[in-house]
Every structure is written in structure tokens, then in C-alpha cells.
Amino acid sequence: MNFFTSFFIFYWLRRLMNPIAGLVGAVLYSLLSLAPEASGYTIQAEHFITFYIAISFFLISKVYFQKNQEIISPKSRLISLLVSGFFLGFALMTKPNALFFIPAIAFPILMAYLQEKNIKTFFKDVLTWGVGAAIPVLLLLGIAVMKGAWTECWYWMVTYPKIM
């Protein structure tokens, strides 16, 4: 899991900055995430969140940070936004505090709107990304309803955190 996260961090930072930044980011993530002081003796959900968030960042950067006059097709743009949202949804379902990454991932969408002033493209991108994020959430909640576990699901998602 950490290897693939490092891989996406490398490609994401390479796209945003340069290959050296990508290499430094991937190596630092690898060293810090594999340190026994960070994990202890258990597998933590943070490794899964960083994996899903790294993929989401990578795909968003593929859409909004082209290099060397790279042109992304409308279909590829749509798929990248949808899949980026999909992995954000996975991160949210893994641990809800992934919610705090939404502004960082959405920042390029907002910056593109502020530069181009194209409201139609902005809403289309936000909607595509949002639908992608909603798919895993709705699938999991749908499975809970089909299995008859909605009340138990609601208890652990909403009621129990209020008690604590």
C-alpha cells in the first residue's frame, strides 16, 4: 500500500514541480510511513486514506496541471475527474476525517474557474467530481440498507460519535 502511495506522490509532485521534488516527496513519505513509531504494531487506516487521497490528487493534477503544451481530451478529463472523486469517496468511507482534504483537492478546480471565468465548465467539473465522490458512499449505504443493517450503520456513524 505504501509503495503505491509513494508512486502516486512521486508522479503527482513530478507533474506539479519537477522529478527531484517527486523523488524527495516519495522517499520522505516512504520513510515516515514505514517508521514503527508511526504505526506501532497495528495497521492504521491512515495508510489507506493517504493512498486514496494521493490517487485523487494525482488525477486532479492530470486535469489541471498540464506540462509542455499537453492537451487532455474532454473524455479523459471527465474520466479523471470522476475517478478522482471516486477515490476521495473511498477515503471518506475509510475514515471521515478525509473530509479535510476536500478543499485542497478542489483548489485546482476553483483556480481554473477564476482564471477562465467559465461557469459552465466549473459546474460541470464540480458536479463530475462530486458524483464520483458520491458513488462509493451511496454504494456502501445501499449495501447496508439491502442487508438490513441501516439502523446499526446509523448508530455507528451518527449516534455513537455524539455520545462520545
Please tell me the predicted confidence (pLDDT) of residue 136: 94
If we measure between CA atoms, which residue out of 116, 10, 1, 12 comes closest to residue 62?
12
63-92 mean pLDDT? 87
Please tell me the predicted confidence (pLDDT) of residue 66: 74
Cell of 25: 516527496
Please tell me the predicted confidence (pLDDT) of residue 7: 87
Please tell me the predicted confidence (pLDDT) of residue 47: 78
HSE (side-chain half, CA atoms, 13 Å) at 67: 11
* pLDDT above 90 for 139: yes
pTM of the full predicted structure?
0.80
Please tell me the predicted confidence (pLDDT) of residue 154: 86
DSSP secondary structure of 5-71: HHHHHHHHHHHHT-HHHHHHHHHHHHHHHH-HHHHTTS--THHHHHHHHHHHHHHHHHHH---TT--
Please tell me the predicted confidence (pLDDT) of residue 79: 95
Please tell me the predicted confidence (pLDDT) of residue 21: 92
Mean pLDDT of the chain: 87
* pLDDT above 80 for 89: yes
100-129 pLDDT per residue, tens = 999 999 998 888 888 888 899 899 999 999
Question: What is d(CA 114, CA 26) in angstroms, rounded to the nearest whole number?
Answer: 31
Please tell me the predicted confidence (pLDDT) of residue 43: 62
